[in-house]
Amino acid sequence: MAYSDKVGVTKAEKELLEREQRLKEKLKQTQNALAQKERQRREQERRKERAADTRRKVLVGAMSMEKAKNDPQKAAELRSDMDAFLVRDEDRKLFDLPPK
């Protein structure tokens, strides 16, 4: 039974109780909206970090390939490293490595 349904509750008390319920509901909605915004912020930050990580990998790879292009010894080292590192056949194929 709600407070406002009890016998002996004045109109003013009833209005205060109803206002309290509305405020509690608004607080809950505001907290939910804030939590949603925080989740979105974290997701955006995660996406930014992932993009930066991908960019770093691309740049390291480009540098390694450039060094290998100009130095046969570096090319052999890179090929050996890639042979040891890559396990998926489709990845190995990109570097003309035999399947494992």
Global pTM value: 0.65
Query: How many domains, the chain?
Result: 1
Residue 31 lies in a domain: yes
Residue 4 lies in a domain: no
Residue 100 lies in a domain: no
Residue 2 lies in a domain: no
Residues 6+ apart with CB under 8 A from 77: 68
Residue 1 lies in a domain: no
The strand ranges marked E within the chain are: none
Residue 34 lies in a domain: yes
Quote the CA–CA distance of 95 and 87 in Å, as a whole number: 12
Full residue range of the structural domain in which residue 25 is found: 9-94
- pLDDT digits (tens), the chain, 100 positions: 455 456 678 999 999 999 999 999 999 999 999 999 999 999 999 999 999 999 999 999 999 999 999 999 999 999 999 999 999 999 999 999 999 8
Instruction: Find the DSSP H helices in 1-100.
Output: 11-70, 72-85, 89-94
Residue 29 lies in a domain: yes
